[in-house]
Structure 1
Amino acid sequence: MNTTEEWLAAASIDPSVAELRPDYRALLITAEGLRPGPGDAFSEELLAEAEAKACDPEQHPHTAEWREAFRAFGAKPKRTRPSVDALLRRAAEGLPRVDRLTDIYNAISVAHVVPLGGEDLDRYVGPLRLTRAEGTEPFELMSGGEPVTENPRAGEAIWRDDAGVTVRRWNWRQCVRTRLTTETTRAVFVFDALSAMDDSALEAAGRALTDALRASSPGVTTTSRLLRA
């Protein structure tokens, strides 16, 4: 496997996505030396703070722009919501508790109103790239407790690697192959920003995540890269 820096340098955004949303930026942060496991007092505190301060997704300009972006490639955002929109709608009743790493990034996503996903770096096959789907790419998920492989719709915005789709509809749903687990020690986190979130706000969200990772996993090392459409 290439070094983390080389893998990060190979990440890309296809021109077809740039045509869809020229204002799009992706902040990629890799983290190595993570301490995985179930949720704990630290991740619980972050989630509770995020729940208490969660905004109304109907009133926030960034979630509004993401709904527009979904419509632009044919998705129905009321049926398949952008990830941060879906999380904000759950905040009043309680955000999901998954594992300590997932809980940390979900809390940052809600607090900064930015779609944010985390995936196991060791599960990747080749570089990460954002493109428009042909419709034949494999997307692995679980259905009824059994592994299932589906395909995205043609034209859908997808994150992928050499083995297939890692995230469908930009930031709607992750595949099971690269998702974080209680054994993940190397991860990549992807922040999705549109024009309502300027670079300084995006950088602040990135700092919040790296600060939280360093506090929860002493000795962790992080590397970042900002990609522009």
Structure 2
Amino acid sequence: MSADVLALRPDYRALLLVATGLVPGQGEAGAEALLRRAEAHAITLLEDRPVEELAHVASWREAYRAFGAKPQRTRNSLEALTRRAPSGLPRVNPLTDVYNAISVLHQVPVGGEDLDAYRGSPRLVRADGTEAFDATSDGQEVLEHPEVGEVVWCDDAGVTCRRWNWRQGRRTALRADTTSALFIVDALDAVSDADLRAVATSLSDHLRDLGPDVRVAERLIGRVTRTDRGEVPS
């Protein structure tokens, strides 16, 4: 993680989880039940306040403004999912469904990537504007570039997620046949370290339902002293 990202939000932490041994097609029933819990939770959360007033959503709106993004136009992934949840979260594949549900239930942005599609290690930087981002627009594959100063996750081949946690790229997206995955959980001060540990436990437990030999390693980076319960591959 680059120092200029932490300069924007010194309270930022990232929880990285790597899951290996995933079996494609496993866990559909469990993922569906988790999605339904998340949808019900969102309805309860939004009974007495709009989504933009939820604590972590509001913090991420501030973070977006800090690097020049307009949060009402490009919503962080947590806000986008929480807004959608009362009318139904998307059903994509068990891996994606699980992390989307965990995001809403724990009120943290969560991203999922196919680890085998990575080129080098993931890193969080402020873009210089030349990086490649392979996306889809109106059903067509397009190559985009982030804005100068935008916070992006990237690897050696280009951007994997734009605007911190707004939009993930096509190249490293989770697929129905993914067997090794990287999950990134983003947190600001509205989420405590104890809350993050609870996210790690919940996500790990559900991932282990996606195959008999699933192994999960996690690492917490950012403002706090790094805590390892395994090693994230480079």
User: Does TM, scored on the shorter chain, surpass 0.5?
Assistant: yes
**Matched position secondary structure for 1:26:** strand
Aligned to 2:8: 20
Query: Residue 149 in 1 paired to residue 149 in 2?
Result: no
- Aligned-partner residue type, residue 91 of structure 2: R
**Range that drifts further, 72-81 or 56-65:** 56-65
Q: 1:130 aligns with which of 110, 117, 124?
A: 124
Query: Residue 52 in 1 paired to residue 40 in 2?
Result: yes
**Matched position secondary structure for 2:142:** strand
Aligned to 1:75: 69
Q: Kindly indicate whether the alpha-carbon contact (under 8 Å) linking 2:111 and 2:165 is maintained by their aligned counterparts in 1.
A: yes
- Aligned-partner residue type, residue 162 of structure 1: D
Query: Residue 36 in 1 paired to residue 24 in 2?
Result: yes
CA 38–181 in structure 1, closer or farther in 2 if over 3 Å, else same: farther
**Matched position secondary structure for 1:209:** helix
Identity of paired residues, percent? Answer: 57
**Range that drifts further, 151-160 or 49-58:** 49-58
Aligned ranges for residues 1-229 of structure 1 at < 5 Å? 13-37=1-25, 40-54=28-42, 55-56=45-46, 57-229=51-223
CA deviations 1:165-214 (Å, max 9, x no partner) are 00000000000000000010000000000011010001101110000011
Q: Kindly indicate whether the alpha-carbon contact (under 8 Å) linking 1:27 and 1:225 is maintained by their aligned counterparts in 2.
A: yes
Q: Kindly indicate whether the alpha-carbon contact (under 8 Å) linking 1:38 and 1:98 is maintained by their aligned counterparts in 2.
A: no
Aligned to 2:226: none
Q: Kindly indicate whether the alpha-carbon contact (under 8 Å) linking 1:39 and 1:97 is maintained by their aligned counterparts in 2.
A: no
Unaligned runs of 5+ in 2: 224-234
Aligned to 1:4: none
**Matched position secondary structure for 2:221:** strand
Q: Kindly indicate whether the alpha-carbon contact (under 8 Å) linking 2:26 and 2:211 is maintained by their aligned counterparts in 1.
A: no
**Matched position secondary structure for 1:35:** coil
Aligned to 1:7: none
Q: Kindly indicate whether the alpha-carbon contact (under 8 Å) linking 2:118 and 2:155 is maintained by their aligned counterparts in 1.
A: yes
The CA distance in 2 between the partners of 1:190 and 1:211, in whole Å, is 16
Unaligned runs of 5+ in 1: 1-12
The CA distance in 2 between the partners of 1:89 and 1:39, in whole Å, is 25
**Matched position secondary structure for 1:36:** coil
CA deviations 1:47-88 (Å, max 9, x no partner) are 000100112323321111000000100111111001010000
Number of aligned pairs?
217
TM-score by length of 2: 0.90
1:142 offset after TM fit, Å?
1.6
Q: Kindly indicate whether the alpha-carbon contact (under 8 Å) linking 2:98 and 2:206 is maintained by their aligned counterparts in 1.
A: yes
1:217 offset after TM fit, Å?
2.3
